[in-house]
Amino acid sequence: MARSVIDVSGLPTYAFGSRVTPWWGTFSFCLLEGTGFALGIGGYLYLAVTNKDWAKDAVPLSLLWSALFTLVLVVSALPNFLIKRAATRESLRSVRLLLLIMSAVGLVLIGLRIMEFSALPVRWSDNAYGSFVWLLLGLHGVHVLTDVADTLVLTVLMFTRHGTGKRFSDAEDNAFYWYFVVLSWLPLYAVLYWLPRF
């Protein structure tokens, strides 16, 4: 005969941060995508070391668009932090406002990345250096694009009748992933834009 020894009826149906399963899902995806970035950088460095003509191929990239991109991206960590906080407090007004800001920031970043691509001094087919520049910028670009699309959908969602309860947890989770997009850019930026200058 079953004997009930733990009563879970009073437990909440959602929570925030590492208490919930989606946080761990996002964390796991960050791990595997981070491994992808690390291996991409590893491949770039491998060729930089083994190829004696690398210095000749590695034309330094212009610093203009990437500097703007990096600046906006790093600054976006602030509204992102505020979203996390507002979501945890379940403050609908703040979450809506901040999501609008993050959507706009995301669209600006995509624009800057497009400008970056159009100004690149190498094509992917010129040499292996060019291939890696396009690969790494593209790989990170896909992450920006994915999270911005996610943010746009979430923004719309929070303006509908669904903007309640568990969706605050989703907003928090989305902000968590954005940190990954920001942090994964910094080593890429250093390697792609500054390493060839030394």
Partner 1 sequence: MSPAIEERHETRDTDLGDEELRARLSRTWGSARGLIGILSTVDHKIIGIRYAVTAFVFLLAGGIMAIIMRLQLARPDSHLVDAELYNQLFTMHGTTMMFLFGVPVGEAFAVYLVPLMVGTRNIAFPRLNAFSYYVYLFGGLMLWGGFALSIRPDVGWFSYVPLANLNFTPGKGPDYWAQMITFTEVAALAVSVEIVVTVLKQRAPGMTLDRIPLFVWTMLVHSFIIIFAMPAIMLASSMLIMERLVGTQFFNPDAGGDPLLWQHLFWFFGHPEVYIIFLPGTAFVSAIVATFSRRPVFGYLPMVLSLIAIGFLSFGLWVHHMFVTGLPEIGAAFFTASSMAIAIPNGVQIFCWIATLWDGKPVLKTPLIFVLGFFFIFVAGGLSGVMLASVPIDTQVHDTYFVVAHFHYVLIGGTVFPLVAAVYYWFPKVTGRLMDERLGKWQFVLAFCGFNITFFPMHLLGLHGMPRRVYTYPAEMGWGGLNLLASAGALLFFASFLLMLYNMIASARSGALAGDNPWGADTLEWATSSPPQPQNFDRIPCVTSGSPLWDQGDDNVVVGGLKVDERELVVTSIREARPDIREESPAPSIWPFLAAFATAVAFIGSIYTPWAITWGSPVVAIVLVAWFWPKTIEENV
In whole angstroms, the minimum distance from the beta carbon of 150 to partner 1 comes to 9
Quick one: which segment of 52-60, 68-76, 84-92, 176-184 binds partner 1 (CB under 8 A)?
Answer: 52-60
CA–CA separation, 69 and 108 (whole Å): 9
Q: Three-class SS of residue 73?
A: helix
Smaller CB separation from partner 1, 53 or 75? 53
Residue 165 binds to partner 1 (criterion: CB under 8 A): yes
Residue 157 binds to partner 1 (criterion: CB under 8 A): yes
CA–CA separation, 169 and 19 (whole Å): 11
Provide Rg for the chain, Cα atoms: 21
CA–CA separation, 137 and 116 (whole Å): 9
**Closest residue by Cα to residue 26 from 170, 151, 141, 162:** 170
Judged by CB under 8 A, which of 29, 117, 159, 194 binds partner 1? 29
In whole angstroms, the minimum distance from the beta carbon of 40 to partner 1 comes to 6
Quick one: which segment of 40-48, 67-75, 85-93, 189-197 binds partner 1 (CB under 8 A)?
Answer: 40-48
Residue 118 binds to partner 1 (criterion: CB under 8 A): no
Site for partner 1 in 4-23 (CB under 8 A): 4-15, 19-21
Residue 129 binds to partner 1 (criterion: CB under 8 A): yes
Judged by CB under 8 A, which of 59, 111, 126, 183 binds partner 1? 126
State the DSSP H helix or E strand holding residue 187, giving kind and residue range, or none if neither: helix 166-189
CA–CA separation, 95 and 158 (whole Å): 8
Residue type, 11: L
**Closest residue by Cα to residue 174 from 70, 71, 87, 96:** 87
Give contact residues for partner 1 (rule: CB under 8 A): 1-15, 19-21, 24-25, 28-29, 31-33, 35-36, 39-40, 43, 46-47, 50-51, 53-54, 57, 124-132, 134-135, 149, 153, 157, 161-162, 164-167
